[in-house]
Amino acid sequence: MPEYKLIDLKDENLSEEDHEWYSHLFLFLCKYIQNFDNIRNQANYNFSGHGAYDAFHLLFHDGGNVELPVAVAGMYNSGCYPQNTARVLQRAYYHPDVRHKSLATHGGNHIKKALLAKYILPEQLRIARDEFRREGVFFSVEFPMRRKSFETIVGWMNEHHTTEYGIWEIHPKLVNTCEGYVHDAKYQHVDHRTCWQNVAIMKFRDDFELNLPTMEIEEWHEKYGTTKR
C-alpha cells in the first residue's frame, strides 16, 4: 500500500521555500488539467492561486521522485457563505492514476482508495471546527441526475470513513452554492443550473442550519430539463 504526504498551502508553519515549491507543483498540475485532462469541470482549474481559501490541501505519494499531487481540495468561505460554515472538498480533483470512472464505482477497493475522504477531509474538518470555529460544513456535487451516485458516496463515507466530527446528512433539496453579487444594495444569488447542487452537511452543533437558498428537485427539472452540462 502506498503512503501519502499531505501539504496544506495555507499552513503558516510551511517555510517560504516549501510554500513556493508546492505552489509551483500545484500550478503545474492546473496546467496539466487544462491542457491534457478530460474532466467535466476542467475550467475550474484555470485560476492562479489559493489565496481566498481557509485551507488548500495537496496529497502526494510519499517517497520516490517528485511528482504531481494525486489529489487536491480546498476549504472555502471567503464571505460568500454564512460565517458559521465552510465548503470542504472545494475544487476536489483526482489525478487519472488514482481516479475512478464513476462516482458510484462499487467495491471495497474503491473505499480503500477514497483518498479525499481518508486523508484530506479529516484535516479540513479539524481546521473548520477547531481553528475557524465553524458550526458545520458542507460539500456538493452538481446536477440532480447524479444524486443516486452522490447518495452512494455519502453512505460509503459514513460507513467506512467515520470521523470524530460527526456524520454526513444529505439535504433533501438542491442548494445554491454559487457566490452571489450585490445589486440595489441587496445580496443576490446567481440563478444558474450548475449553482443548484446536491449537498451533504456535517453539523458540529445540533442546531446548525445551512442558510442558503434551496430548490426542489422537481422544480429544477421543470426549469432546466435533464441536461448535465
pLDDT in tens, 134-176: 999 999 999 999 999 999 989 988 988 878 999 999 999 999 9
| CA atoms of 214 and 12, how far apart (whole Å) | 36
Give the residue extent of every domain in the chain. 4-224
Q: Find all residues with CB under 8 Å of 22, minimum gap 6, and list them.
A: 7, 9, 14, 58
Superfamily of domain 4-224: Gcn5-related N-acetyltransferase (GNAT) (3.40.630.30)
Among 140, 154, 138, 9, smallest CA distance to 69 is for 9
Q: Find all residues with CB under 8 Å of 17, minimum gap 6, and list them.
A: none
pLDDT in tens, 84-125: 999 999 999 888 878 765 554 444 445 455 889 989 999 999
| CA atoms of 155 and 195, how far apart (whole Å) | 23
Cβ count near 103 (within 10 Å): 13
Element (H, E) at 122: helix 121-126
Please state the pTM of the whole predicted model. 0.88
* Per-residue pLDDT band at 65 (split at 50, 70, 90): low
